[in-house]
A and B are shown apart, each in its own frame.
Chain A
Amino acid sequence: SQTIHQWPATLVQPVGSPLSLECTVEGTSNPNLYWYRQAAGRGLQLLFYSVGIGQISSEVPQNLSASRPQDRQFILSSKKLLLSDSGFYLCAWRIGATNEKLFFGSGTQLSVL
Chain B
Amino acid sequence: AQKVTQAQTEISVVEKEDVTLDCVYETRDTTYYLFWYKQPPSGELVFLIRRNSFDEQNEISGRYSWNFQKSTSSFNFTITASQVVDSAVYFCALRIYNTDKLIFGTGTRLQVFP
Contact = CB atoms under 8 A, between A and B. Distances in A.
Contacts of B105: 43
A51 B100 contact: yes
A61 interface: no
Interface residues on B, range: 20 to 34
B44 A105 contact: yes
Contacts, number: 57
A49 B104 contact: no
Interface string B38-60: 00001111110010000000000
A24 interface: no
Nearest to A96: B100
A106 B107 contact: no
Interface string B87-101: 000010101001011
Contact of A44 (B44, B50, B100, B104): B104
B47 A101 contact: yes
Interface of A: 32, 34, 36, 41-46, 49, 51, 57, 59, 88, 90, 92, 97, 100-107, 109
